[in-house]
């Protein structure tokens, strides 16, 4: 069982709890700092919050694990609504959760690259792998808060590179969905693309959240909020596009289109993706 550090809400000032509840303050899961939110009229850190160790339960998914941990701190009723998101964020940043997800995504990327030999597909698959590999590197930078000053020296170019790669990923997903609508694909390639897009869309909020946290880690709080707002809006739009695409494919499948028919076997995974509570929390900046 992994150990991570969660915030000791009993030591959080009423002012901070009120600010977080009203949205005038935000919390960094990486360094435990409450800071003034962009647009609040104030800037900078408000309170450095103490951490206490907690075990990550062996739950079925991230939200279930966060709820189990949250239930153990019922004395802080006022903070409960806030702490769900903070716990989810802490698990993503501090544990091997993200690394394990990346291993699964990399296998999907390798499969698509091996099976679909189109030059542009292989090129962008490498870009996708590079983005999430850089996300994992950025996460590791935040594991030791005593190294914050050293991380400051290298974080800015890393964050600029991550932003470029993330935007390429958004564009690539839109383009590959167009490709999947054509009749040039085999059934196998169609299924690989659906699986890849679903997995990449599940990972994108985690990647954007790590970027947001790295900005907060180096005390660039305004940029931290700006990034997650921009990435969040674009993610919501892309999810709406994908949901519409899936609905169209289901309609075609019902009419007997064999290529689209395989999407019906992914109904459970797609519903889980579209209703993901953890992704909604992370992309909102918790």
Decide: 51 and 5 in contact? Cβ < 8 Å.
yes
Q: What is the model's pTM?
A: 0.92
Residue 79: domain span = 4-284
Give the chain's domain count: 1
The pLDDT of residue 179 is: 79
175-209 burial code (b ≥16 CB/10 A, e <16): ebbebbeeeebeeebbbbbbebbbbbbbbbbbbbb
Mean pLDDT by 10 residues, the chain (286 residues): 84 90 90 93 93 82 85 61 84 91 90 80 86 95 92 95 94 86 80 92 96 96 96 96 94 89 91 95 84
Measured in whole angstroms, how far is the alpha carbon of residue 113 from the centre of its chain? Answer: 23
């Amino acid at each position: 069982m992994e150990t991570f550090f969660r915030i000791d809400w009993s030591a959080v000032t009423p002012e901070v709890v009120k600010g977080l509840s009203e949205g005038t303050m935000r919390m960094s899961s990486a360094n435990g700092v409450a800071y003034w939110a962009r647009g609040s009229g104030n800037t900078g850190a408000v309170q450095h919050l103490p951490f206490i160790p907690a075990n990550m339960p062996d739950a079925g998914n991230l939200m279930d694990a966060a709820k189990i941990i949250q239930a153990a701190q019922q004395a802080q009723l006022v903070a409960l609504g806030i702490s769900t998101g903070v716990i989810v964020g802490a698990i993503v940043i501090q544990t091997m959760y993200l690394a394990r997800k990346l291993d699964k995504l990399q296998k999907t990327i390798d499969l698509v690259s091996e099976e679909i030999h189109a030059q542009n597909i292989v090129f962008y698959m490498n870009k996708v792998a590079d983005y999430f590999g850089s996300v994992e590197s950025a996460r590791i930078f935040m594991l030791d808060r005593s190294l914050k000053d050293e991380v400051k020296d290298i974080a800015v170019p890393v964050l600029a590179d991550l932003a470029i790669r993330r935007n390429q990923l958004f564009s690539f997903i839109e383009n590959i969905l167009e490709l999947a609508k054509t009749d040039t694909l085999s059934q196998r390639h169609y299924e690989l693309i659906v699986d890849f897009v679903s997995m990449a869309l599940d990972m994108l909020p985690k990647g954007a959240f790590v970027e947001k946290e790295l900005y907060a880690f180096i005390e660039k709080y305004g940029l931290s909020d700006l990034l997650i707002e921009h990435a969040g809006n674009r993610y919501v739009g892309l999810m709406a596009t994908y949901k519409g695409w899936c609905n169209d494919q289901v309609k075609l499948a019902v009419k007997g289109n064999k290529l689209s028919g395989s999407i019906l076997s992914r109904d459970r995974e797609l519903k889980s993706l579209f209703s993901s509570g953890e992704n909604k929390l992370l992309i909102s900046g918790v």
